[in-house]
Amino acid sequence: MKKKKLILITIIIMFLTNLVKAEQNIPLKEYLDGKDLDKGPTQIYLLKRCSAVYAYASGIVLKSDAISSKNFIEISNNLLFKSVELMVIDENKKLEEAQKEAEKNREELFSNYITDGKKNWEKNKSHFKGSYISKDMAICSKLIEEN
């Protein structure tokens, strides 16, 4: 009986450990698969997510390349502003409400990128390479090119 309890507890601990190790954000490509890109909520999420990844990139390169960091934060802010505009138009939200919500969402997504970037750094000494973050940046850079 004690062995069964010990095995069960071990399995539960292993399961919970794997949950903690999981990435905070699902890859953007995975999120977008099967979504209608013409729908407002999908566009709003995409803009917020790209805003967060550019804010993250800005922080990462700040010490080594201040000009790129500044450009990234400008892109991030423009994307966030576009998400706010869409929230006002598509969801009939008041401007102040949409701004607060968008900023809160970006902060949460940004925090997730920080967490996952640190995990990736520990794994391979890169914040981006070999992770979904670099793939998110590639998707978001295409979005920037289109605008």
pLDDT in tens, 96-136: 999 999 999 999 999 999 999 999 999 999 999 989 999 99
pTM value surpassing 0.75: yes
Q: How many domains, in total, are found in the chain?
A: 1
For the stretch 49-60, pLDDT in tens is: 999 999 999 999
Other CB atoms within a 10 A radius of the CB of residue 37 amount to 8
Residue 31's domain comprises 2-146
Does position 17 have pLDDT exceeding 50, yes or no? no
Do residues 50 and 140 make contact, with C-beta atoms less than 8 angstroms apart?
yes
Other CB atoms within a 10 A radius of the CB of residue 113 amount to 28
Residue with tokens 């423009």: 78
Helix axes 40-61, 132-146, angle to 10 degrees: 110
CA distances 112 to 61, 65, 68, 86, 133, Å, are 18, 23, 22, 23, 10
Q: What is the mean pLDDT of residues 136-146?
A: 91
Radius of gyration, alpha carbons of the chain: 18
